[in-house]
Amino acid sequence: MSDDGSYLSWIYPSGKLRKKGFEPILVRVIEYTIENLDNPEEQIRYRLITSLLDIEKFPALLLACEYHQRWEVENTIDELKVHLLGRKTHIRSQKPREVVQEVYGLLLGHWAIRLLIFQAASSADVSPLRLSFTGTLRVVRRALPKFQRLQPQELPFFFSWLTVEILDQVLPERVDRNNPRVVKKPVSKFRSKKVKHRGTGTITHPPIFVISSTA
């Protein structure tokens, strides 16, 4: 067991691969408990399995906290692909060099929006997660024509106005997200019963067979 309480273990990708003789994967196991909001006296035990083995770079407490923020990755992808891009064809370039350039430009645009959100949130002592990305994006798009006509001495006033506009995009408190790990019920392979199927059920009496022979 490591100094942070985590320990190493081995897992197989699947039971079939284990039977076929595949090598197991070295992983690090982090066990911790969190409070149950429905029952404060109860502690919920979690067991986090990760391939990040370096305890100096990735302490157990850091990974345990970041694991419960994993939804932010999906939110970021949605901000980039759906709202910032805003078109069905995500990448229009046909050559590798231009594809890299286009993706890099999109990432810079997303970083710029998020930086404005962070600066506005810091000035008002608000969490950046409470400010709307789509709302800020609309503010920036409206401000671009004004920004192109500004003189250098007008920039401080412009950014002050931009901060006020972004702070108007405050979102309500987030609700707790819960995604139980359950097994989905498989869909039946039979067709659903309809009116036309009535009276065509299973035969309840044995069938009569007639066997004839010829001389």
Q: What is the predicted pLDDT for the residue at 199?
A: 61
Q: What is the predicted pLDDT for the residue at 39?
A: 76
Q: What is the predicted pLDDT for the residue at 212?
A: 46
Query: What average pLDDT score do residues 112-133 get?
Result: 92
User: Is 64 in contact with 46 (CB distance < 8 Å)?
Assistant: yes
Task: Give the other-Cβ count within 10 Å of 38's Cβ.
Answer: 7
User: Could you give the angle at the alpha carbon of 79 between the alpha carbons of 51 and 168, nearest 5°?
Assistant: 125
Provide the CA 10 distance to its chain's centre, in angstroms.
27
Q: What is the DSSP string of 79-94?
A: IIIIIII-SS-S----
Residues 133-160: tens digit of each pLDDT = 999 999 999 998 888 888 888 888 888 9
Strand runs labelled E in the chain: 7-11, 25-35, 43-50
Query: What average pLDDT score do residues 62-80 get?
Result: 85
Q: What is the mean pLDDT of the chain?
A: 82
Question: Is the per-residue pLDDT at 29 higher than 90?
Answer: yes
Question: Is the per-residue pLDDT at 215 higher than 50?
Answer: no
CA dihedral (81, 85, 86, 88) positive or negative: negative
Lowest mean pLDDT segment, chosen from 169-173, 180-184, 208-212: 208-212
At residue 211 the predicted structure's pLDDT band, cuts being 50, 70 and 90, is: very low
Q: What is the predicted pLDDT for the residue at 173?
A: 77
Q: What is the predicted pLDDT for the residue at 201?
A: 53
At residue 22 the predicted structure's pLDDT band, cuts being 50, 70 and 90, is: confident
User: Is 30 in contact with 50 (CB distance < 8 Å)?
Assistant: yes
CA dihedral (104, 106, 107, 109) positive or negative: positive
- The pair of structure tokens assigned to 159 is 């950014």
